[in-house]
Amino acid sequence: MANGQDPSNNHPLTDAQRDALIARMQTAWANLPDDKQAALKPLVDDAHQQFANYLQTGATPEHRLHPILRMKSYLTNDWDGHVQRLDHPAAAEAIQVKVGPGGEILGTGRYQLLDPLWELVAGTVWLENLLHKHPFPPGTPTPVQIPDQVTIALVGDFGTGNFGASDSPSTKISKFIPA
């Protein structure tokens, strides 16, 4: 996969890594009960149609479908050639970065809407965990007493980049919170 990146070291995603993620996705799908597959099929089909439409016209896919646009292609071994089309060097040049109406970055590069690694990892993890929701602890939580004056810090790290050898951006930011 020319544009995918391995999140641990930012090297290009190898064919073996891509194939392993696709195999995990296919296994996760196969492990879903028939009723879950049937319930998800319209969503996956809709995402696939929007992906095909994007490839043909450049029309921005719906935000809610971004992480699963290529899922049907991956699950069916790219029966219609959409993934192969994107992996072709000429297609990578044709699908250049542009900003969609919702502010999304459209393209196949790292951190962009059609980043293959993001779609493979997000879609695979979603399917793998669909049936395994973490239970809430039993009982009622104990209220925490706070003083009349309090400072609350709220931070997020969505899409913050490199998680290689050094601290991630969110870890670096968290060190400033006490100050």
Instruction: For residue 56, count CB atoms less than 10 angstroms from its CB and return exposed for 0-12, middle for 13-18, buried for 19 or more.
Output: exposed
- 151-177 pLDDT, tens digit each: 887 876 655 555 556 677 777 777 877
Q: Give the whole-angstrom CA distance, residue 166 versus residue 91.
A: 34
How crowded is residue 90: how many other Cβ atoms within 10 Å of its Cβ? 8
∠ CA 155-115-20, rounded to 5°: 105
Mean pLDDT for 126-136 is 84
Please report the pLDDT score of residue 164 as a whole number.
Answer: 59
Determine the distance from the C-alpha atom of residue 127 to the mean position of all C-alpha atoms in its chain, rounded to a whole number: 12
Contact between 8 and 17 under an 8 Å Cβ cutoff? The reply is no
Closest to 4 measured CA to CA, from 76, 55, 74 = 74
AA identity, residue 2: A
pTM (2 d.p.):
0.64
Q: Quick check: helix, strand or coil at residue 105? A: strand
Tokens of 164: 């290689």
- 66-113 pLDDT, tens digit each: 788 889 999 998 888 877 776 655 444 445 556 766 666 777 667 677
Between 179 and 98, whose confidence is greater?
Answer: 179
Closest to 70 measured CA to CA, from 84, 57, 60 = 84
Contact between 69 and 114 under an 8 Å Cβ cutoff? The reply is yes
